[in-house]
Homo-oligomer: A and B are copies of this chain.
Amino acid sequence: MPSEFRLTRTVEFHETDMAGIMHFSNFFRWMEACEAGFYRSLGLPLISFVPGNVVGWPRISASCEYKAPLRFNDTAEVRLLIKEVRTRAVIYVFQFRKLGEGGRVESSILAQGEIAAVCVTSDAAGKMIAQPIPPEVKARLQIAPESAYAAA
């Protein structure tokens, strides 16, 4: 079954800008918060600094398309899907949908983003080097069918 995680979240005042909408950079922070929630839900550490077992996920690329704004106190759902799993990298897709009256998730997507992250450890000198995704992590990264996110 494809991996999936949903984060529900309300726009905070400091996330808005003088145009009255959530600043576009904050959509990337919501995506990352959703990714962190996904890893917590799996009981897997997203990041580890344990010497000898350092794991991190620096970003190779990030993008977002914005179709409608979010405003202060708006509540939205961020849905994580997995687009691609490579030996050392994973590509996530994130869909943003507003919660309307009664807490129902609206069908239209207000923003859709993508983050590609590479799995790294650190070498003896403390420098980050790419490493294969640990098998216990990889086992939980199930890609979604393209139909789940391509329509956006």
Residue contact A25 to B14, C-beta cutoff 8 Å: yes
Contacting residues, chain B, for A26 (C-beta < 8 A): 25
Contact partner, A66, options B46, B47, B60, B66, Cβ 8 Å: B60
A100 interfacial contact with B, CB 8 Å: no
Residue contact A64 to B61, C-beta cutoff 8 Å: yes
Residue contact B65 to A60, C-beta cutoff 8 Å: yes
A19 interfacial contact with B, CB 8 Å: yes
Contacting residues, chain B, for A64 (C-beta < 8 A): 61-63
Residue contact A47 to B24, C-beta cutoff 8 Å: no
Contacting residues, chain B, for A66 (C-beta < 8 A): 58-62
Contacting residues, chain B, for A63 (C-beta < 8 A): 61-64
Seen from chain A, the residues whose Cβ lies within 8 Å of a Cβ on chain B are: 10, 12-14, 16-21, 23-26, 28-29, 32-33, 36, 40, 46-47, 49, 56, 58-66, 69, 71-73, 128
